[in-house]
Amino acid sequence: MSFESFLFVLTGGVVLGALYALMAAGLAVVWTTLGIFNFSHGAFVALGAYIGWQVGNVDGFALGHVLGLSATVLGMFALGILFQQMFIRPFERKENIVAATVITTLAGATVLQNGMLLIWGPRSKQISGIGEGSLNIGPLAFSWNEVALIVLVAFILGAVGWFLSRTRTGRSMRAVSQNRQAAELMGLNVPLLYALAFGLSAAMAGVAGYFVGSVRFINPTMGADPLMKALIVVIFGGIARFTSPIYAALIVGLVESFTTFYLGLYWAPAVLFAMMMIVLTIKPAGLFGTHQRTL
Amino acid sequence: MRYDPPFHRTNGLIPAVLFVLVLAVVPFVFDGSYIRHLIILSLVFAIVAASWDLSFGFGGLLNFAHVALFAVGIYTYGILAKTYGVNPWLAILLAGPAAMVFASIMVLPVLRLDGMYVILVTIAFSQIIYQGVISQSDITGGTSGMVTLPMLQIDGYRFVKDGKIGYYYTALALMVVCVGSIYLITRSALGRAIIALRDNKYYAMSRGVSEWRTRLATLALSAFFAGIAGGFYGSYVRVASPDIFGIGSLTLVLSILLVGGLATLWGPVIAAFVIILLSESLGWMGAWRDIIIALMIVAVMVFYPGGLWGVIQELRETFATLRAALMVRMRRRFERAKREGMLGLREEMVETKHGLIAVADTGASHTHTGPPILLLHGNSACKEAFQNQFAHFRDRHRVIAFDLPGHGASDNGDPEETYNVIAYADIAEEILTQKGITNPIVLGWSLGGYNALELTARNPQAYAGVVTTGTAPLNMAPDDFAKGHDAKSHLILAGKQYLTGAEATTFASHATVPKSEKSAFLHRNLRRTDGRARFYMITKLTVVDWPRHMRMLREGQIPVAVMNGHDDPFLNHDYIAGLQYGMIWKGRTTDIPNGKHAPFFNEPEAFNAALEAFIDWAAEARAEGD
């Protein structure tokens, strides 16, 4: 393998890692606060991409990237809250919430996917790149689209991290995730915080979808593969801190990139899943994790 | 070992046999192979869902690799039967062990994890299998899968030529065998260990249940049936496609399981038919079909968390309640004369706050020299059980008895309000007040004994004495209930809502005597009694203030006689004799030889003589005490 192809694989890994980080962080926000795994996260990714395409792209309303991305964020935030009220709220206090929400979020994903199929049809769409040309830093070559993606992801993750650790609402959210009863006794509005957490997670998925839509084709099931990767990331890194899925995402992105190059397309996912199972068996709380539910 | 009847003695037998019979005649009634195709699919998915129920529902393991193990079965069939030319029947059989091997590999991570992590690791495991399948295209056909797998045939008779009749009956037989085996597993020692680990892991382990061995067995057995189903499915659709790993089939099987009801086994079997037929009949709606089905599944989860099985139970209770209401009307209309003949008394209906109560009262008379006697009958019995007491005591005492609500000719009650010991004592109090009876002797039999203790303990000075027969007084429920009774007996039936014919006969024979001309009316009571009266009474035992009863007995607040049959099959005599009594007749409990659980009925002479002696003694004891 030449040095150039090594660098090519490396940049590919970083871009993948950034996307996975955005998805995994969104999954982790819901997991840690509500204590459930959201299987419709992949459908959220696709829905975010469709909304962005509809508003921003020339074949849609042609309002440009800024408005397209804003519509994705706001639309997915609202839809996320609606989704949570419909599919998760009724089971919040039930004993079997974990199993029940697996089926309801899967059902929700079915509803969303078929809804997208009905609205936008089966034909694949694509969001035009955010920038054209490429940026060369020494031997490293990033397209401007990838640069924008990495910068925006870093910015969004930084902003969400700041929100969770510095603002009153964000801290309340972490408090709820640590101890619901105590948080309720302190007068926190738990249903509202749950809704906000879910909306935030959906918005992050939507943004991830917007970016995926600019590098791959948009179709209702486009989120399935990134969801599986995000699942690996979340388990691999653990959810002890908000930053742990981010590091793990980079590792997973790089591993995927390199195994794809060396072992071929089909083997990469198997290696990742095997890696995840080994981590889970040896250190169930994840690579960076302590066995505690918090943000 | 608690009472646990074999399947052919349970209420499930007739519905199960009917279900299989209906399926067996469907091909003769409905022509066309399409309906047979749908039923074959339903049968296969019924096996998949029922075997998943073993690990997911009974074992509480959130094992999401089950559909992948089903796929392992399909691919095993494909590879063995097509690539290696193994006999298709043998290939189906080997698909089970193949899935078991994969499931056993999964045990290690599953053992170390809990709850959500089990879901994730099993999903990851199924993804690994999926990736393995699509990467090994030489063996598995990769993303395009394997096609034209060998069909089943017997002795040259090819199953594809007969409009799916052969496949239909093979699937039916397979379903019966697999679901039957899973049923037997859930009731075996292993099954109880699986359930115990789910309900209380550490307690089960401290009782000697090996966690890893049981978990391994759970996953392996559940995988075995999924693998067999997969092998058959492969032989039927004759395609092994990696699509089966997709989220669609997971959602399908999971919704069958959850809509049917977790840990019910029969629920998923029924739900398989409902969901498959429903999703086929909505096929013309395109994308709307999946949306509608998904929303329906969520609606079932919200409004019927118990699933279809819960709905069936509700329907059954509604039906049983209607039937009980009908039986009261029949009894009132047609059998009144017979009842009045037994007691030699007119029956009257008394309005109480718990509904109309059938009362037999001799009324006041100048010949009455002793105190009135109130007789309280037991669970699933009636006031006519005391016919010998009426005959013996009516000359010298005013005797009164009534049917409990839900029993005899009395109204059925609101189960939450009426079917408990406190409400029964309220009714007795109300009837005594309405009839103007004061200072009676209260005799209670079995459940009636608890009612008698509850009634007298409220105001011991207002009663001349209390007699219990066939009753174990409690200090706390349910602990003492277990101590005071023989755990090996059929007492568990006393709280069972629906009794089978055999169970009704068994319980009546133990509670009174084996069926004879004389005791036939007591046996008939089992069918009349509102099943909810049994169930709610037992579950509400904990709401009674039991220490108050014990205090009354211990402190001698009232003259007491404890007259039990010497050979009572339900009672633990040592427990009852060992309690403290402050003012008990003869200073100890009284044994009636050959009395069984109903000594007043089985040995009326001895019982009546003892009761008479007690009544005289009670009057003296009261006089001394005051």
Is the Cβ of B62 closer than 8 Å to some Cβ of chain A?
Answer: yes
Is the Cβ of A262 closer than 8 Å to some Cβ of chain B?
Answer: no
- Which residue of chain B is at minimal alpha-carbon distance from A272? B128
CB contacts, 8 Å: B293 with chain A: 110
Is the Cβ of A285 closer than 8 Å to some Cβ of chain B?
Answer: no
CB–CB of B295 and A228 under 8 A?
no
Interface of B with A in 259-298 (CB under 8 A): 262, 287-288, 290-291, 293-295, 297-298
Instruction: List the single residue in B62, B124, B131 with the smallest CB-CB distance to A277.
Output: B124
pLDDT band at B118 (very low <50, low <70, confident <90, very high): confident
Q: Within a domain: residue A62?
A: yes
Interface of A with B in 25-84 (CB under 8 A): 31, 35-37, 39
CB–CB of A270 and B120 under 8 A?
no
CB–CB of B298 and A87 under 8 A?
yes
User: Which tokens go with B565?
Assistant: 């049959």
Q: Within a domain: residue A271?
A: no
Positive or negative, the CA dihedral B185, B186, B188, B192 is: positive
Span B60-83, pLDDT tens digits: 998 999 999 999 999 999 999 999
Q: Within a domain: residue A256?
A: no
In angstroms, the CA A249 to CA A18 distance is 7
DSSP secondary structure letter of residue B591 = E
CB contacts, 8 Å: A94 with chain B: 305
- Which residue of chain A is at minimal alpha-carbon distance from B115? A98
pLDDT at B3: 66
Task: Please report the ipTM that was assigned to this predicted complex.
Answer: 0.87
* Residue, of A202 and B141, whose pLDDT is higher: A202
Mean pLDDT of A166-183: 88
Q: Within a domain: residue A7?
A: no
For residue B23, give how far its alpha carbon lies from the nearest alpha carbon of chain A (Å). Answer: 30
Span B517-564, pLDDT tens digits: 889 999 999 999 999 999 999 999 989 999 999 999 999 999 999 999
Q: Within a domain: residue A262?
A: no
For residue B298, give how far its alpha carbon lies from the nearest alpha carbon of chain A (Å). Answer: 6
Q: What is the DSSP string of A3-68?
A: HHHHHHHHHHHHHHHHHHHHHHHHHHHHHHHH----TTHHHHHHHHHHHHHHHHSTTTT--HHHHH
CB contacts, 8 Å: B305 with chain A: 94, 96, 100
pLDDT over 90 (residue B387) = yes
The total of other beta-carbon atoms located within 10 Å of residue B422's CB is 15
For residue B525, give how far its alpha carbon lies from the nearest alpha carbon of chain A (Å). Answer: 40
User: Which tokens go with B376?
Assistant: 């309280």
Name the residue range of residue A157's domain: 20-222
Kind plus residue range of the DSSP H or E element containing B13: helix B13-29
pLDDT at A147: 86
Instruction: List the single residue in B250, B262, B291 with the smallest CB-CB distance to A111.
Output: B291
pLDDT band at A262 (very low <50, low <70, confident <90, very high): confident
pLDDT at A292: 52
- Domain borders along chain B are 30-245, 335-625
pLDDT at B32: 82
CB–CB of B127 and A273 under 8 A?
yes
Span B119-162, pLDDT tens digits: 888 888 888 899 889 888 888 988 889 998 998 888 878 887 77
Span B551-578, pLDDT tens digits: 999 999 999 999 999 999 899 999 999 9
CB contacts, 8 Å: A103 with chain B: 251, 254-255, 258, 297, 301
pLDDT at A277: 78
CB contacts, 8 Å: A232 with chain B: 124
pLDDT at A294: 47
Q: How far is CA B516 from CA B99, B424, B520, B524, B605, in A?
A: 56, 30, 6, 11, 19
CB–CB of A103 and B297 under 8 A?
yes
Total number of domains constituting chain A? 1
pLDDT over 50 (residue B602) = yes
In angstroms, the CA A107 to CA A115 distance is 12
- Which residue of chain B is at minimal alpha-carbon distance from A114? B287
- Which residue of chain B is at minimal alpha-carbon distance from A280? B109
Cα Rg for chain B, rounded, in angstroms? 31
Is the Cβ of B256 closer than 8 Å to some Cβ of chain A?
Answer: no
Selected residue of A98, A273, A275, A281 to mutate for chain B interface (largest B Cβ count, 10 A): A273
CB contacts, 8 Å: B302 with chain A: 90-91
DSSP secondary structure letter of residue A89 = G
Mean pLDDT over the full length of chain A: 87
Is the Cβ of A7 closer than 8 Å to some Cβ of chain B?
Answer: no
Is the Cβ of A263 closer than 8 Å to some Cβ of chain B?
Answer: no
User: Which tokens go with B270?
Assistant: 């029924």
Span B337-359, pLDDT tens digits: 999 999 999 999 999 999 999 99
Is there a contact between B386 and B375 (Cβ–Cβ < 8 Å)?
A: yes
Instruction: List the single residue in B116, B121, B247 with the smallest CB-CB distance to A224.
Output: B247
Nearest Cα neighbor of B24 from B171, B232, B229 is B171
For residue B73, give how far its alpha carbon lies from the nearest alpha carbon of chain A (Å). Answer: 20
In angstroms, the CA B489 to CA B499 distance is 16
User: Which tokens go with A164?
Assistant: 């969770």
pLDDT at A295: 47
CB contacts, 8 Å: A98 with chain B: 62, 115-116, 119
Was domain B335-625 assigned CATH 3.20.20.70? no
DSSP secondary structure letter of residue B188 = S
A77-86, A135-144, A167-176, B116-125, range with the lowest pLDDT:
A135-144
pLDDT over 50 (residue B597) = yes
Instruction: List the single residue in B123, B254, B301 with the smallest CB-CB distance to A231.
Output: B123
Pairing mode, strands B399-402 and B373-376:
parallel
CB–CB of A99 and B62 under 8 A?
yes
CB contacts, 8 Å: B120 with chain A: 37, 231, 234-235, 280
Determine what percent of chain A is predicted with pLDDT higher than 90.
41
Mean pLDDT of B223-251: 93
Q: Within a domain: residue A213?
A: yes
CB–CB of B258 and A98 under 8 A?
no
φ/ψ region of B238 (left if φ > 0, alpha if ψ in -120 to 50, else beta) reads left
CB–CB of B135 and A276 under 8 A?
no
Mean pLDDT over the full length of chain B: 92
Mean pLDDT of A207-230: 90
pLDDT band at A92 (very low <50, low <70, confident <90, very high): confident
- Which residue of chain A is at minimal alpha-carbon distance from B113? A284
Bridge partners of B466, per DSSP, are B442, B560
Selected residue of A91, A97, A113, A114 to mutate for chain B interface (largest B Cβ count, 10 A): A114
Instruction: List the single residue in A86, A103, A281 with the smallest CB-CB distance to B109.
Output: A281
Instruction: List the single residue in B124, B294, B301 with the smallest CB-CB distance to A111.
Output: B294
The total of other beta-carbon atoms located within 10 Å of residue B8's CB is 11
Span A13-69, pLDDT tens digits: 898 899 999 999 999 899 888 888 899 999 999 999 999 999 988 888 888 889 999
pLDDT at B576: 94
- Which residue of chain B is at minimal alpha-carbon distance from A43? B247
pLDDT band at A235 (very low <50, low <70, confident <90, very high): confident
pLDDT over 70 (residue A289) = no
pLDDT at A290: 62
pLDDT at B1: 42
Is the Cβ of B120 closer than 8 Å to some Cβ of chain A?
Answer: yes
Question: In sequence order, which ranges of B78-146 are alpha helices (DSSP H)?
Answer: 88-112, 115-135, 137-140
Is there a contact between B88 and B256 (Cβ–Cβ < 8 Å)?
A: no
Instruction: List the single residue in A35, A110, A274 with the smallest CB-CB distance to B294.
Output: A110
Mean pLDDT of B106-130: 84
CB–CB of A273 and B294 under 8 A?
no
